[in-house]
Each structure stands twice: as C-alpha cells, then as structure tokens.
Structure 1
C-alpha cells in the first residue's frame, strides 16, 4: 500500500516536471520564431511551427497523465 502511494506520488511529480519542461521548450521555440534576426534566414518555418505544436501537445498529454495519477493517489489515500 505504501509502495503504491510512493509510486503514484513519483509519477505525479515526474509528469508535472515533464509537462513544464515541454511547455518551456515550446515557448522558447516560439520566441525564436517570432524574434527576427538579420544574419540568418529561416528556410523551414513550417517545420519549426510543427515542432512547437508537437511540444505543446506533449505538454498537455503529460498534464493529463499527471492529473490521472493524482486522482488515483487521492482515491488510494482514502
């Protein structure tokens, strides 16, 4: 029982951290897309935008997994 609670707490913590890192990465990529630079010309902005959306979707997925694990944790503690 205690082992399962510790595992669920670790899952919640990990998924929240993964989601935050992926959200930060997508924001960083978006800022890099928006800020113009004179020295370099972006040749594939579509690929860059696709990467932003992929990281955002992965962040949302990690958030949902964290909420699911947290719900299981609350049910297990009761």
Structure 2
C-alpha cells in the first residue's frame, strides 16, 4: 500500500469516527430530553442507549484504525 492510499485511509477513518461520535452525542441528548407520555424504561430508551453505545464503540475503533495508519505513515517517512 502506498503513502497516498494510507493517508486517504487515515483521514477517512478519522472522518468516520467524528461522524459516529457526533451521532452518538445527538442520540444521548435525545435520551436526556423527556419524551411526552412515555413511561420511564420504555424499550425505545434501551434501543437508543444501545445504539449510542454501538456508535461510540465504532467511533473508538475508527480512531484506533486512523492512529494505526498514522503510525505506519510515520514509520515509512523515517525509513
């Protein structure tokens, strides 16, 4: 894999991570705002919290992949 492809992959994973992080923040804020007529502990709340957790896990994975490509680029530049 050449340097240009790795640089693109690094930026792509970083963008994916920021998007997933932003969506998870919006979902979490949606959890804090009380729903009209909804009972506490509805299945909808559990689904939103699960989705928020999955998006956060995905964001951390994408950040980790981005850092891995950055390290590879740094190693190639030093060599």
Scaled by the length of structure 1, the TM-score of the pair is 0.88
1:46, CA displacement in angstroms?
A: 1.1
For 1:20-72, what per-residue CA distance to the aligned partner results, in whole angstroms no more than 9, with x for missing partners?
0000000000001111132x527321111100000000000000000000000
1:52 is matched with which residue?
A: 52
1:20 is matched with which residue?
A: 18
Q: Which stretches of structure 1, 4 residues or more, deviate above 6 A after TM superposition? A: none
Task: Give the number of aligned pairs.
Answer: 75
Q: 2: distance between equivalents of 1:34 and 1:74?
A: 42
Scaled by the length of structure 2, the TM-score of the pair is 0.87
| Residue segments in structure 1 that go unaligned for 5+ positions in a row | none
Q: 2: distance between equivalents of 1:32 and 1:57?
A: 19
Secondary structure in 1 aligned to 2:66? helix
Q: 1: distance between equivalents of 2:73 and 2:55?
A: 27
The 5 A counterparts of 1:36-47 are 36-38=34-36, 41=38, 43-44=42-43, 45-47=45-47
1:7 is matched with which residue?
A: 5
CA root-mean-square deviation? 1.5
